Structure formats: C-alpha cells, structure tokens
A and B are shown apart, each in its own frame.
Chain A
Amino acid sequence: MTLVVGVDIGNSTTEACVAEVDADGREISWLAGALGATSGVKGTTENVSGVADVVRRALAAAGRDPAELAVLLVNEATPVISGLAMDTITETIITESTMIGHNPRTPGGGGLGVGVTVALADLPGRDPAEPVICLVGAGADFDDAAVGINSAVAAGIQVTGAVVCADDANLIANRLHTPIPVVDEVSLIDRIPLGMLAAVEVARPGHTIRTLSNSYGIATVFGLDPDQTRMVAPVARALVGNRSAVVIRTPTGDITDRRIPAGRLTLIGATARRTVEISAGAEEIMAALRRVQPLADATGEAGTHVGGMLARVHDTMSDLTATPADAVRIQDVLAVDTVAPQPVTGALAGESALANAVALAAMVRTSRGPMELLAARLREALGLDVLIGGVEADMAVLGALTTPGTDRPIAILDLGGGSTDAAVAGHGDEVRSVHLAGAGDLVTRLIDAELGLGNVDLAEEIKKYPLAKAESFFHLRMEDGTVRFRTDPLPVDAFARVVVLADTGVHPIPTRHTIERIRQVRRAAKHRVFVVNARRALEMVSPGGNLRQLGFVVVLGGSALDFEIPDMISEAVAEFGIVCGTGNIRGREGPRNAVATGLVARHAATAHVARDPAPTAGV
C-alpha cells in the first residue's frame, strides 16, 4: 500500500486528495480531501506555500503522518487566465432645462398644473388672468411658502402648481387651502428659466403620471404643432413610469439619448477576420465571434473605449504572466449587454438614467507555466517525490467519473471564477476540451455595475447568497416569500433593509433597490454568463456540435456550488435529453476536487499497467 496525494492548483483555489493505492494499483481507498486558497498566479513557484498548506491539512483530515506520503501528484496547470473590462456606450443629455423627471420619494398634492414659471417672491402683483407655476427656491421655509401661495390665491392669482428645492412638497401641500401638485427635491431649481410655460404633474398614490409621459398629452398642454410634437416625443418617453414630473417649454430645449462612439472590435480568427461595432451590442459581437472561430487574437480601435478596454486586459495579463504586452493573445471573448446607472447630463434634480454598457471578458493563453521549476521547489519544500501528471481536462474527466451514476461518453462543465471550461470524453482516451472567457468574476462585476454598488465584495455576497428583507429585528422575509423568525435580534444596521444571508452573518445592502430588483439583476447576470457559456462550451466540444450526442453532463467547479446556477444550466440543456447535474466527486466531495481525484486515479491506473504489462485476452 502506498499513500499518494493529488493536488490541483486552480486560478483561485488549490485542492488536494489523499488516497491509498495498493501494490498493483487495482484498489484505491480514498481517505480525505482539502481545499485552500491558491498562493500567487497558478503555475508559478509562488504556489508552493499554498500547496504545502493544503497537503498538510488533507493529511491531518485523513489522520496520517506526512512521513508516510510516497508521492505528490500535480496537474499540468492550463495556462489560461481571464480578464474583464466594462464601459458604458450610451448617455442621456438634457439641454436647456427642458424637463425634470425624477422620482422624489414624497411629491405633494396631485393632478396637473400648467402656467408660467414665477419665483415665490414675485407672486404678489401677478396678473390674475395668467396661470402660474410657483418656484420655491433654496432656503425658503415651508410655512412661508404656503403662506405666500395661499395669499396669492386669495388675491385671485391662479397658482396651478409648485416646484420646490427642499424636501417640502407634502408640508407645503398640507398647508394650502386649494390643492395643487407640488414636485420637490429639485436641487438645481435656480436653473429653471423664469417666465416660461411649464407643466407640473403629480400622480395619485400608487399610480404613475399620465399626461406628461404621453407625447400628445404634452402637445395638448402646450398647444404644439405636429413638428414640435415630434420634438417632445423623447421627453415623454423619458418620463414614463415616474410618479411626478415637470416639463418646461423652452425654445430649443431637447433631450437626447446619445451613443458614445465606443469604437470597433476586430476579431482575428485562424482564417478570417471581422470587425464589429461595440455599440451594436453583445449579440452582434458574439455572432461575429462564431464566424471567425477559432479566435487567434482580438484588438480594439485605438483611442476608443473598446481600445482602452482591450489595452487594460492586455496590460493586466502581461503584468500577471510577465510576458510583453504584445505577446499576449486573446483566445476567447464573451460580450454581455448590461446597464449601469449614470447621472443624466444637464439634469436639474440629480436624475440618473440607466445607460447601456457592454462588459467584455477575455481569455488569454500564456506561455507554459514554469511547472518543472514549481515541481522542483515542491520537492525541496516537502521532501518527497513530485510527479507532474496529466492534462487538466483529462484529469477532471477521470475525477468526474467517480460521481455515482455517471458513465462514458461524459462531458464536464467546469464553472470557475475566471473561466468556463468544458471537456468531452468518449469511450476512447481522446478528450476534447475548450476554455471560455467569462465566469463567476464577470457575474460579480455585472451585479456591482447594474445595482450601482461600487463595492465588489458586497456584489460577491449578493451573487453567492439568497436575499431577505428584515421586517423587524426578529423576523426576516426571504426572497421566496417565506418568513423566518429569530430568537436573537438582527444587527442594528440591518433594520428594515434588504440583506444578504451570508455565512458570516446578515449583511445589509445600502441601496434603494427592492428585493425583487436585486434578485432579478442577480439571476439575469448568472443567466447571461453561465447559461450562455455552458451552451457555447458544450456545442464546441460535443461531436459535430450536437448536444444530443452527449450522454452525461457533470457540472464542476466553485460556481457549481452556487444555489441556483446548476439548476439554471440543467433547465437550459433539458431540451437535449441529456442527464445533467452537479458532480459529486467520490460520492462525497460535491463538485470540488475533481482534478485532484483524477490525478490519483490516473496514477493508480498507470501503476497497474506498469506492473501487469500484458493483460492478454481471455484472462
């Protein structure tokens, strides 16, 4: 009996598997597995401390003495690393204070008011024949404003609506004798031109505005001709869904949705080359990519956003791998459409609009890592025989086959942090594998950008754990609607907030987003990365691109531990009649430890062949 340990050095985690192999290699008794963080970039000598730590813990878990260990097996790390970049491609611009389309939490009054804009101080002495909209500037007290409007109305002036700088709409509306719509929290109220025709609309509670979000409504209010109506159509569109709005008729005011010249992406394939506009969106980019497969490199137009994005990927990669930037070759890209909240240029109330953005993940093939050097260092550090054995994909397949209920032909889908890998093994020895850009890290970035968090750690938690709303200190309403009571109170900062139920505790999400919105963003991000990549990867490795030829699909890797990704993938491939599920390596490790286990299995099999070289037919 010999004690062996297989070690898999991955992008983010290092895994070990300890087993005892009998003399002729026919019997393997699995003892224990362990998992730790990878130290440094995988495939480099920095990994030694991480490997030593994981091996020590695996042996401790197996209750064995390190002195008994005969052989340490490491995989040939796949020299692929991924990079990410994201940039917005649209922006909204309001020129000349045409409209205010924000959603203050508490607008006052209700209905629609149309009139000429007049400052509060100028109300007395206005012509009673002309309806007015009162502008209440910064620093004005709500009582004074209400008194001013009430006395103007008493003097016969038709005040039809009010626009307020502070958060005072309800306070003023509650003190008026005649109800009018009041829109508040307009921080840049000084930029509203005086003496212009304007309309103020506040919707009833639970409703959204009806007139100012309708082009013909604005046309009716301002008496516009067909040409002018065409001009205001974007204004109406921008106000759809708001609870309150102000539209001011200025001679040349306009609102536009401008596309930022994001530049062109050039995809260079083995035989073809295609150029695609980034602003065309993810679908076009991915279609162009399919036409040039296999990808040899990708470049962006210099001086544009995409040029910058790819330059960042190249720079990061060359830093990580210590290769010159022009030697870095992009082997795969995944483009994902996303949205990011951006401040509206020219807005009067700090409005923000969802700008379209494109996220690009890129996969880079590096020169072979210095594996021999790493093996030599490990030999020194641990004082035992170190063998480099097997291609990562082959080992993962062997490991996956230890999942109960699997058989060849088998496909594995390894969902990692940086990349999505797939491999297929038929009845023979040949294994086909691909490495695709885009995995867990991209999902985290999408969640961070779309929710406008600016906090990658929190985005990571939102990705990994379910949500709940803290309805009191003692009960949480889960995202599926069920309620969980607690005996110990929640932390103070979680009160009344949407929280993530992380392993380390209940963490509040400091945004105004509802639980439904956060959940939808999270699921959409996972779908756009993992489901898209799973199908792409399986199509590339399956014989003839036909998924129906695959018998079993085993989902592996860190992201396979996610609470919803495996289900999403199963659902997506269900139509092909494949058995698909999360791996359970050696019947107990779950989707982890496949490569480490495969290394031991291969070692045992080769030992067996070496001792028994001619297993002749008929034995």
Chain B
Amino acid sequence: MTDNTTATERTLELTSRGPAAAGRRPDEVVIGLSPGFGDLFTKTIVDVPHAEVLRQLLAGVEEQGVHARVVRFPGSSDLAVIGHGAARLSGSGIGIGVLSRGTTMIHQKDLPKLSSLELFPQAPLMDLEVFRSVGRNAARYAKGESPEPVPSRNDYMARPRWQAKAALLHIRETGLVRPGAAPEELTALIRLAAAS
C-alpha cells in the first residue's frame, strides 16, 4: 500500500454564484472563507495548499452524511466575523470559519461573536488531519451529537517563529477587504492538476 497523497497535486477553482442566502436545511454546515482564500493566496502559512484544506474540510463533513456550502466573506478578515457569519447563514446554525493562513474555528449562531465551539488559533500547527477533524466535528455538532473536541495543539515556539509572517499575511489579507460587501455563495471545484 503506497502513500500517494502528497504526490498528486490538486487545484482549486472557486466561482461565485452571487449573494449567499441563509440556508434552511438542518443538515448543512457552511464553510466561511476569508477574502483571499484560494484566490490571492493558494497556501497556508506552512504551505498547505488551499485546495487540500478545503477538500479535507468538505470530506470531514461529507463522511458524516452532512451537506456543506462554501461562502466567501469579502467584508472582513476577522476570523470571528467570518466564523459567526458562516454559522448564521447555516441551516443547522453550525459554521466553520477559515483564514488564508490556516487559522480556523467552529462557530454556532447563538454564541456571542467572540466565543466559539472550537478554536484553532495557531495556524502553523494546522495540517490536513486537523482540517479533516474540524469538518467532521462541525458536521457532528450539526447532527446534534457531542463530538470530542479536536485535540488542540500548542507550540510555544509558534508565536516567536511565525508571528512576523502571520502579521504580514494578515495585512495583505486585510488589504483585500471590501467593507460592507455581502457574503458570496461559491462553487468549489477541486481537480487533479492537468499534467502530473
């Protein structure tokens, strides 16, 4: 059994389908993306491709038999705004917010904006396994189950080592913000790269 996950490159194509409306399906999770996700940026702070980030989040949701929608929030680069906004658009009240650099949270519509169900504040520690677990747990919350929170990692060196890069990425992402712009419904197409 050979491991061929890293060998295959996948590309992400996000196309807008117009303003995102609030969902009515109780079995959906909304994945909220920051302004530059899969657009100006294509990788997280530790070079995890955005195509794989979104693919694992979607896979985690799908494995639980739950439906996922992808929505971009061009109006903010604040994770709390994106995560809470996604939760409020979600028919189940559960949303995932993810920033281009990889910082992620699971939110619920009734919670205060600055709170969250699960928060993954250290972007450099986010790998594909964690993104899959985030998708899985969000879907399980949507089903009314009680998942074990994804084990949160902590690296005391992450802050000194990555803070400068994170700040630069945040400034660039914030530069893309169009204040007051409405969330957009996206179609996500993830394909194997043409020539492999």
CA distance A496 to B5 in the complex (A): 34
B65 contacts A106, C-beta separation under 8 Å: yes
Q: Which residues of B contact A497 (CB under 8 A)?
A: 146
B111 contacts A492, C-beta separation under 8 Å: yes
Question: Could you say which of B56-64, B160-168, B177-185 contacts chain A?
Answer: B56-64
Q: Across the two chains, which residue of chain B brings its CB closest to A473?
A: B110
Q: Which residues of A contact B146 (CB under 8 A)?
A: 496-498, 508, 512
- Closest beta carbon of chain B to A22's beta carbon, Å: 61
Interface of chain B, helix or strand or loop or mixed?
loop
- Contact mask for chain A residues 159-174; partner B; CB cutoff 8 A; 1 contact, 0 none: 0000000011111001
* CB within 8 Å for A492 and B116 given contacts A121-B1, A140-B1: yes
B62 contacts A496, C-beta separation under 8 Å: no
Is A119 in contact with chain B by the CB < 8 A criterion? yes
Q: Across the two chains, which residue of chain A brings its CB closest to B93?
A: A472
A174 contacts B145, C-beta separation under 8 Å: no
* CB within 8 Å for A121 and B64 given contacts A472-B110, A492-B115: no
Q: Which residues of A contact B196 (CB under 8 A)?
A: none
Interface size on B, as a range, is: 20 to 34
Q: Which residues of B contact A136 (CB under 8 A)?
A: 1
| Residue tally, chain A, CB below 8 Å to B | 33
- Closest beta carbon of chain A to B65's beta carbon, Å: 6
A495 contacts B62, C-beta separation under 8 Å: no
* CB within 8 Å for A174 and B115 given contacts A119-B1, A141-B4, A497-B146: no
Q: Which residues of B contact A174 (CB under 8 A)?
A: 62
Which residue from B3, B65, B117 sits with its C-beta under 8 Å from A170? B65
CA distance A169 to B62 in the complex (A): 10
B63 contacts A167, C-beta separation under 8 Å: yes
CA distance A471 to B111 in the complex (A): 14
Is A200 in contact with chain B by the CB < 8 A criterion? no
CA distance A472 to B144 in the complex (A): 9
How many pairs of residues, A versus B, come closer than 8 Å at their CB atoms? 66
* CB within 8 Å for A473 and B63 given contacts A119-B1, A496-B141, A497-B146: no
Q: Which residues of B contact A474 (CB under 8 A)?
A: 110
* CB within 8 Å for A510 and B148 given contacts A142-B59, A495-B141: yes
B5 contacts A171, C-beta separation under 8 Å: no
- Closest beta carbon of chain A to B119's beta carbon, Å: 10
* CB within 8 Å for A144 and B136 given contacts A473-B108, A492-B116, A496-B145: no
Is A139 in contact with chain B by the CB < 8 A criterion? yes
A169 contacts B1, C-beta separation under 8 Å: no
A471 contacts B110, C-beta separation under 8 Å: no
B64 contacts A106, C-beta separation under 8 Å: yes
Known: A168-B63, A174-B62, A510-B148. 10 other contacts (CB 8 A): A137-B1, A140-B1, A140-B4, A141-B4, A141-B5, A171-B63, A471-B144, A489-B111, A489-B112, A495-B108
30 contacts between A and B (CB under 8 A): A106-B63, A106-B65, A120-B1, A136-B1, A140-B5, A141-B4, A144-B5, A144-B8, A167-B63, A167-B132, A168-B59, A169-B63, A170-B63, A170-B64, A170-B65, A171-B62, A472-B93, A473-B110, A473-B111, A489-B110, A489-B111, A489-B112, A492-B111, A492-B115, A492-B117, A495-B108, A495-B141, A496-B146, A497-B146, A510-B148
8 closest cross-chain pairs (CB), A and B: A137-B1, A139-B3, A473-B110, A497-B146, A141-B5, A170-B63, A496-B146, A171-B63
B interface list, Cβ under 8 A from A: 1-5, 8, 59, 62-65, 93, 108, 110-112, 115-117, 132, 136, 141, 144-146, 148
